[in-house]
Amino acid sequence: MARRNVTLLGATGSIGRSTLDVIRRHPDRFRVHALAAGTRARELAALCREFRPRVAVMADPSAAALLRELLADLPDIRVLAGDDGVCEVAAAPEACTVVAAIVGAAGLRPTLAAVRAGKRVLLANKEALVMSGQLFMDAVAESGAELLPIDSEHNAIFQCLPAGKTRDPEAAGITRILLTASGGPFRGHTAEQLRTVSPAEACAHPNWSMGKKISVDSATLMNKGLELIEACWLFATDPSRIEVHVHPESIIHSMVEYADGSVLAQLGSPDMRTPIANALAWPERIDAGVAPLDLFAIGRFHFERPDLARFPCLRLAAEAFEAGGTAPAVLNAANEVAVARFLEGALRFSDIPVIIERTLTATDVVDADSFETIFAKDAEARRRAGEQIRLLTV
């Protein structure tokens, strides 16, 4: 069997490490062609020693210089620097599979480069799709790229859809998508309690171990808002056909309801190696290193409706999708700025949705007719979110 060459964008992150753990178990199936990351040169150097990629990239130029020094005894590994280097490996002809696991808007250009080069793209970087929805999906259609979701909910939905009909809900007889959410670490908190929660508390997710940004997004429910938009684009549907179900056990990763009343669900331990392995090997099934599910130990499943009064981010995301055009890009940019300030201790948790809403109000929606327009709106929204934070915190 020919091995698949894989390029991993965001190699030092939470998804990156889970991906490498799956690849490590299957040296006969996968070979790492390139590893790319942001700033952590020592971590990337250690991964290069183990996986021996042909190319390694650091987006940060000084980190790239350090990586070059650290890998001086391995001259076969080409070291590239900067965003252009990340885009270059994303599109390189040697790899047929690209795992898009950079966090935030920084992932859009490289993910798009992989899409335009017609790769099998394993999408974790939901922000890229949220920002550029229609243009992104058009690029997938034009290049013939194969887009496979590894966000656990979307991978679950993908698995519950009839193969080949993932973009035609009508023809497939789909009536609803039931998108599950853990509810995050503050599910039972009162509005008053939410005012004083710390970054450390927000990052301590009850079920999943993830990067900081997505952990905060899970705590505000913005993650579910971004995922709602992600599901609309991936599965060609709209928010009226998606219902968020808070399911604190995080065992059912989402469900699809059909016209005959059948509801198909995908279950599994909350471990990202399952959706990653599913997409890496698709349509085959491989060992992901995940312990078998013990339903006797879990005992019960619970479901509740999300509380949009305490967690307005989910409502803001649905509204941004309905507004269309550049609104989702503005939502995403304002969220990235607010979350970063919250993690620095400079903004209250409960002010994250306030900043996003004010930024959305202050920024005109225009047609998302080009990627240039989207990047310009992203920059404008970041400036405006910064202003709103200054106004709120003086």
What residue numbers does the annotated binding site for NADPH cover?
Answer: 12-15, 38, 125, 127, 211
For Mg ion, the closer of residues 83 and 249 by Cβ is 249
Which of ligand NAD, Mg ion, none binds 237 (CB below 5-8 Å, type-dependent)? Answer: none
Q: Which is nearer to Mg ion, 77 or 229 (CB)?
A: 229
Which of ligand NAD, Mg ion, none has residue 230 at its interface (CB below 5 to 8 Å by kind)? none
- Nearer to ligand NAD by Cβ, of 248 and 358: the residue is 248
Q: Which is nearer to ligand NAD, 124 or 368 (CB)?
A: 124
* Residue 234, binding choice from Mg ion, ligand NAD, none, Cβ under 5 to 8 Å by partner class: none
Residue 217 near Mg ion by CB under 5 A: no
Q: How far is the CB of 28 from ligand NAD (least distance, A)?
A: 26
Measure the CA–CA gap between 2 and 29, rounded to whole angstroms: 7
Whether residue 75 contacts residue 54, with contact meaning beta carbons closer than 8 Å, is answered with no
Tell me the residue number closest to Mg ion, measured at CB.
151
Residue 126 interacts, among ligand NAD, Mg ion, none and using kind-specific CB cut-offs from 5 to 8 Å, with ligand NAD
Contact letters for Mg ion, residues 145-184 (x by CB under 5 A): ------xxx-------------------------------
Closer by beta carbon to Mg ion, 149 or else 169:
149
Least CB distance from residue 149 to ligand NAD, whole Å? 9
Q: Binding-site residues for Mn(2+), please?
A: 151, 153, 227
Q: Which is nearer to ligand NAD, 66 or 358 (CB)?
A: 66
Provide the b/e sequence for 11-21 (b: ≥16 CB within 10 Å): bbbbbbbbbbb
CB of 251 to ligand NAD, least distance (A): 15
Q: Which residue is nearest to ligand NAD (CB)?
A: 13
Closest CB to ligand NAD among residues 273, 377: 273
Q: How would you write the chain as a 3-class SS string?
A: CCCEEEEEECCCCHHHHHHHHHHHCCCCCEEEEEEEECCCHHHHHHHHHHHCCCEEEECCHHHHHHHHHHCCCCCCCEEEEHHHHHHHHHHCCCCCEEEECCCCHHHHHHHHHHHHCCCEEEECCHHHHHHHHHHHHHHHHHHCCEEEECCHHHHHHHHHCCCCCCCCCCCCCEEEEEEEECCCCCCCCCHHHHCCCCHHHHHCCCCCCCCHHHHHHHHHCHHHHHHHHHHHHHCCCCHHHEEEEECCCCCEEEEEEECCCCEEEEECCCCCHHHHHHHHHCCCCCCCCCCCCCHHHHCCCCCECCCCCCCCHHHHHHHHHHHCCCHHHHHHHHHHHHHHHHHCCCCCHHHHHHHHHHHHHHCCCCCCCCHHHHHHHHHHHHHHHHHHHHHHHC
Binding residues for 1-deoxy-D-xylulose 5-phosphate: 126, 152-153, 182, 205, 218, 223-224, 227
Contact positions with Mg ion (CB under 5 A) in 112-151? 151
Instruction: Give contact residues for ligand NAD (rule: CB under 6 A).
Output: 10-16, 36-38, 40, 59, 86, 101-103, 106, 124-127, 151, 208, 210-211, 214, 272
**With the CA atoms of 366, 113, 51 and 278 taken in that order, what torsion angle do they form, in degrees rounded to the nearest 10?**
70
Minimum Å gap between C-beta 312 and Mg ion is 19
Collect all residues with Cβ–Cβ distance below 8 Å to 94 and sequence separation of at least 6: 5, 33, 34, 54
* Binding-site partner at residue 352 among ligand NAD, Mg ion, none, CB < 5 to 8 Å by type: none
Q: Which does 59 bind (CB under 5 to 8 A by kind): ligand NAD, Mg ion, none?
A: ligand NAD
Binds 16, which of ligand NAD, Mg ion, none (CB < 5 to 8 A, cut-off by type)? ligand NAD
User: Measured from the CB atom, is 84 or 94 closer to ligand NAD?
Assistant: 84
C-alpha distances out from residue 195 to 199, 224, 338, Å: 12, 20, 14
Residue 272 near which of Mg ion, ligand NAD, none (CB within 5-8 Å, type-dependent)? ligand NAD
Nearest approach, Cβ of 288 to ligand NAD (angstroms)? 14
- For Mg ion, the binding residues (CB under 5 A) are 151-153
